[in-house]
A and B are shown apart, each in its own frame.
Chain A
């Protein structure tokens, strides 16, 4: 059984790493309004966090936002580089989310088949 008492050990261990935590520049933003949630944004975001954790990536910040405005393409995530460049991925699921971490975040190759441009060439992101 997990218990609140375990938090003490976690705290002591986390203290040692506090200074080591990098404050990085890259961000992944997940649309978490009703449209995104209903389309499955919650498991997508959990998958992103899990994949980053498994790979030991600490300098990518995962956050939520409201409705991005193209509800029919939800779940939508945006990868925002340090220089502000943004790639919008649409119709995500947990497996695609893990692929984006592996290919885009780790290897720097945009998954062009998952982008909004691939889904709807005429829609400007």
Chain B
């Protein structure tokens, strides 16, 4: 993975595979405690307790194409490489929450990357899926829910090209405003 946005995409793909109705993504920068927290919460099918115990083992996976899954192990490695940790909570039929805590200023922390581009692809691929994206730092906060967009758009679908363009530009701008100067890679 080259960006945290790609880890985010990977976590959301897990949530979609768990048939989640609502998927909440949040990215929180806490410069005072030098932490960057990436969290994805879903209301999907959850992870079986026996799999949950070993979910960061690359040879534990619920995929059926082959018995190897690298998504969570790679994210865990990125967390630990930057002095952080990863927590997973999951309950059958209630959903799963993955929280990745990274060292905000650690030299090995991946750049945040293109959150807007990730959102656009997710919305385009399944315009009926409910998402909420929260970006937060001492400089500001974005709380964007697809349900709100849908209310505003009425019968116009979320995956209309003009809407997706707006979404990409809006998230990019918010990302720069909220994380500019807070994350080293985003200039204020």
Contacts and interface: CB of A to CB of B under 8 A. Distances in A.
Interface stretch (B26-34, B35-43, B92-100, B113-121): B113-121
Given A32-B13, A37-B1, 9 more contacts: A1-B173, A7-B163, A15-B156, A32-B121, A33-B63, A35-B70, A38-B1, A38-B10, A46-B114
Contacts of B17: 66
A63 to B, nearest CB: 6
Interface in A60-78: 62-64, 66-67, 69
10 contacts: A2-B170, A7-B152, A10-B156, A14-B156, A15-B156, A38-B70, A49-B164, A53-B165, A66-B65, A67-B66
A6 B166 contact: yes
Q: Give the size range of B's interface with the partner.
A: 35 or more
Interface in B164-187: 164-166, 169-170, 173
Contacts of A13: 162
A22 interface: no
A117 interface: no
A85 interface: no
B124 interface: yes
A42 B173 contact: no
Interface of B: 1-2, 5-6, 9-10, 13, 17, 63, 65-66, 69-71, 74, 114, 117-118, 120-121, 124-125, 148-149, 152-156, 160-166, 169-170, 173
Interface in A11-38: 11, 13-15, 18, 32-35, 37-38
Given A7-B149, A7-B152, A64-B125, A2 B173 contact: yes
Tell me whether chain A's interface is mostly helix, strand or loop, or mixed: helix
A4 B148 contact: yes
B74 A34 contact: yes
Given A15-B156, A43-B117, A38 B6 contact: yes
A82 interface: no
Contacts of B153: 7, 10-11, 14
B156 A42 contact: no
Contacts of B114: 42-43, 46
A8 B148 CA distance: 12
Contacts of B74: 34, 38
Contacts of B170: 2-3
B118 A42 contact: yes
Contacts of B161: 53, 58
A79 interface: no
